[in-house]
Amino acid sequence: MNDLQRLKEMGITVWDVKRPDLFPNNADKAIALPSSCKLLFVSDAELSERDAWLFGKILASMKLTPEQALSLPSRALANLGEHSLIWCWFAGASVQTLSGVNSLSSPVLSILNDDQDAKKALWKQIKRYEN
């Protein structure tokens, strides 16, 4: 079994090279999202089990499944290639405009879990796009 298969079995589909200078041929490669990806979650924070549960609940409220969402760290967004995104959710990351994509902004999920005002603000953003 090769390393890529191991990562896939562990559910890791996106990763970063810590020393990109050692791999000059991989620089500037566009990140290709599957056409099934409708929401890109941009955050530099790792998700705890509790955070993942909240993320799933929010996706369900948006009529999306976890299979329709992928996560990227903010530094990888610059390498985003063609996509079929409808939503881009920036959690604790600076919002960047993606043409034709609905942008959401919130604190990281670990804060959102316990902050009712932040949850309401996120919900209002989601509802604004539905009108």
| pTM of the shown model | 0.77
Name the average pLDDT for the chain.
Answer: 86
- Provide the pLDDT for residue 130: 81
CATH of 32-130, one of 1.20.120.530, 3.40.50.10220, 3.40.50.11540, 3.10.350.10: 3.40.50.10220
At 45, phi and psi to the nearest 5?
Answer: -90, 140
Q: Of the given ranges (21-25, 67-71, 110-114), which has the lowest mean pLDDT?
A: 21-25
| 26: number of Cβ within 10 Å | 9
Instruction: Kindly tell me if the per-residue pLDDT of 64 is higher than 60.
Output: yes
Does residue 46 or residue 9 have the better pLDDT? 46
- Provide the pLDDT for residue 4: 61
Residue 112 burial by CB count (10 A; 0-12/13-18/19+): exposed, middle or buried? buried
Task: For residues 93 and 106, give the distance between their C-alpha atoms in angstroms, rounded to a whole number.
Answer: 8
Task: For residues 107 and 16, give the distance between their C-alpha atoms in angstroms, rounded to a whole number.
Answer: 23
- Provide the pLDDT for residue 26: 56
Helices (H), the chain: 3-9, 49-61, 109-112, 116-130
Does residue 37 or residue 2 have the better pLDDT? 37
- Provide the pLDDT for residue 25: 63
Phi-psi group of 78: left, alpha or beta (phi > 0 → left; psi -120 to 50 → alpha; rest → beta):
alpha
Task: For residues 75 and 60, give the distance between their C-alpha atoms in angstroms, rounded to a whole number.
Answer: 27
